[in-house]
């Protein structure tokens, strides 16, 4: 097992390099980079001869008193200074190599347009994404696995049919529509004003007691988590049901029943261990998806400033340091969580031996 873990950790390095290189090439081919956006912003101004100052990465550029006059365009020296400020005075391979060296030191640089370190920006947004991703994933698993098992053991019954109908309806409606409905119903839209509409905590959060802080925190999360759970638990429920149905029909289950074991002993002593393997395999993807990307619209609707919104805005604004830093961190966490998911296999079924499989 130790050798397998070491091999997987070493494979993370080329995987990260490949993902960063591929996205770097794609972004270089995309039009409208930060230099073009800054030039467009400056050309949209008409300061009547006043000095224009550009700040970024700790440097300032002055266009002078007569170099810039609206439609007359920018002075070539100013354009060159903008390129130097954003690092585009170097070739693409050189920029990529510098980025890799900085990332090896966990130095992600400064945001082009926010004038703050990228790592500080990510740390500022992290609590929202952790809250949405962690709690929604836990709630989805706590609901979906028991519900899936109940549907498998009652396959074809009235309960199975009606629950499947409700689950399919929930799956067919996007999470953001549920979010809007919840706001209309419970956040002062047209009916009741029971829950807050924005933010992760109240303005007086620091003044509350420990119990008050916990209550306030989950009070703000109630509607976003409800919208995420309703829109995302269907897949895991049906996956659990089908996995258990597949195991129930196997020969070892028939043999266990023939030995006189109770249905509960057969279900949780024999079927559960094998059926849960595929559920565990899907946990990393489910967690990462909800953690980083699945909550983008929820963050927008409930005014929660998290990593999903940050990544989207950075991609639109061509804020490359933030784009690549979030890509690096998301990919690294995804690979590590995937490894943890594989290791968890052995906790569910000790018969699995990754070292033997590799051999």
pLDDT at 352: 66
Domains recognised in the chain with CATH numbers: 33-107 (no CATH), 118-358 (1.10.3720.10)
pLDDT in tens, 172-186: 888 888 888 888 888
pLDDT in tens, 321-334: 888 988 888 888 87
44's CB contacts (< 8 A; 6+ apart) are none
Q: Return the higher-pLDDT residue of 11 and 62.
A: 11
Q: How confident is the model at residue 162 (pLDDT cuts 50, 70, 90)?
A: very high
Determine if the pTM surpasses 0.75. Answer: no
Most confident of the ranges 18-22, 199-203, 249-253, 325-329 = 18-22
Average pLDDT of the residues in 23-46? 75
pLDDT at 73: 61
Q: Return the higher-pLDDT residue of 72 and 69.
A: 72
Number of residues in the chain: 359
Q: With contact defined as beta carbons under 8 Å apart, do 8 and 339 qualify?
A: yes
β pairing state of 59-62 and 53-56 = antiparallel
Q: How confident is the model at residue 348 (pLDDT cuts 50, 70, 90)?
A: low
pLDDT at 161: 92
Average pLDDT of the residues in 223-233? 86
How far is it, in rounded angstroms, from Cα 355 to Cα 347? 15
Q: Return the higher-pLDDT residue of 45 and 265.
A: 265
| pLDDT at 47 > cutoff 50 | no
Q: With contact defined as beta carbons under 8 Å apart, do 219 and 195 qualify?
A: yes
| pLDDT at 116 > cutoff 80 | yes
pLDDT in tens, 288-312: 666 665 567 888 888 888 887 888 8
Return the closest-CA partner of residue 315 out of 296, 291, 288, 295.
Answer: 296
Backbone angles phi, psi at 59, to 5 degrees: -120, 160
How far is it, in rounded angstroms, from Cα 272 to Cα 9? 30
Q: With contact defined as beta carbons under 8 Å apart, do 228 and 176 qualify?
A: no
pLDDT at 147: 92
* Percent of the chain surpassing pLDDT 90: 7
How far is it, in rounded angstroms, from Cα 220 to Cα 241? 33
Average pLDDT of the residues in 28-40? 76
| pLDDT at 50 > cutoff 50 | no
Q: With contact defined as beta carbons under 8 Å apart, do 93 and 21 qualify?
A: no
pLDDT at 337: 79
| pLDDT at 356 > cutoff 80 | no
Q: Return the higher-pLDDT residue of 245 and 278.
A: 245
Residue in the block written with tokens 């067919």:
172
Mean pLDDT of the chain: 79
Q: With contact defined as beta carbons under 8 Å apart, do 79 and 1 qualify?
A: no
Q: How confident is the model at residue 350 (pLDDT cuts 50, 70, 90)?
A: low
pLDDT at 151: 92
Q: Return the higher-pLDDT residue of 33 and 142.
A: 142
Average pLDDT of the residues in 21-32? 83
């Amino acid at each position: 097992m130790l050798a397998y873990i070491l091999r997987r950790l070493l494979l993370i390095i080329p995987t990260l390099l490949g993902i960063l290189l591929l996205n770097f090439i794609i972004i270089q081919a995309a039009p409208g980079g930060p230099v073009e956006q800054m030039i467009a912003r400056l050309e949209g101004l008409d300061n009547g001869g006043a000095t224009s100052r550009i700040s970024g990465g700790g440097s300032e550029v002055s266009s002078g008193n007569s170099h810039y006059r609206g439609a007359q365009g920018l002075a070539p020296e100013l354009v060159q200074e903008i390129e130097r400020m954003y690092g585009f005075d170097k070739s693409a391979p050189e920029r990529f190599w510098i980025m890799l060296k900085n990332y090896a030191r966990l130095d992600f640089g400064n945001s082009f347009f926010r004038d703050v370190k990228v790592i500080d920006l990510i740390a500022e947004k992290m609590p929202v994404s952790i809250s949405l991703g962690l709690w929604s994933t836990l709630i989805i698993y706590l609901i979906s696995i028991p519900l899936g098992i109940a549907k498998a053991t009652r396959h074809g019954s009235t309960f199975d049919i009606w629950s499947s109908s409700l689950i399919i309806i929930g799956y067919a409606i996007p999470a953001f529509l549920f979010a809007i409905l919840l706001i209309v119903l419970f956040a002062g839209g047209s009916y009741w004003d029971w829950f807050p509409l924005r933010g992760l905590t109240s303005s007086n959060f620091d003044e509350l007691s420990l119990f008050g802080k916990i209550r306030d925190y989950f009070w703000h999360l109630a509607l976003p988590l409800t919208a995420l759970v309703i829109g995302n638990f269907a897949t895991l429920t049906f996956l659990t049901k089908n996995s258990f149905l597949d195991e129930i029909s196997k020969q070892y289950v028939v043999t266990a029943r023939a030995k006189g074991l109770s249905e509960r002993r057969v279900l949780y002593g024999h079927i559960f261990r094998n059926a849960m393997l595929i559920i565990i395999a899907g946990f990393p993807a489910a967690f990462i998806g909800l953690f980083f990307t699945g909550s983008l619209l929820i963050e927008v609707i409930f005014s929660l400033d998290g990593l999903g919104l940050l990544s989207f805005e950075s991609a639109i604004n061509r804020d490359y340091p933030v784009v690549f830093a979030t890509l690096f961190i998301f990919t690294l966490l995804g690979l590590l969580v995937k490894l943890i998911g594989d290791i968890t296999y052995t906790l569910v079924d000790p018969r699995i031996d990754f070292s033997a499989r590799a051999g």
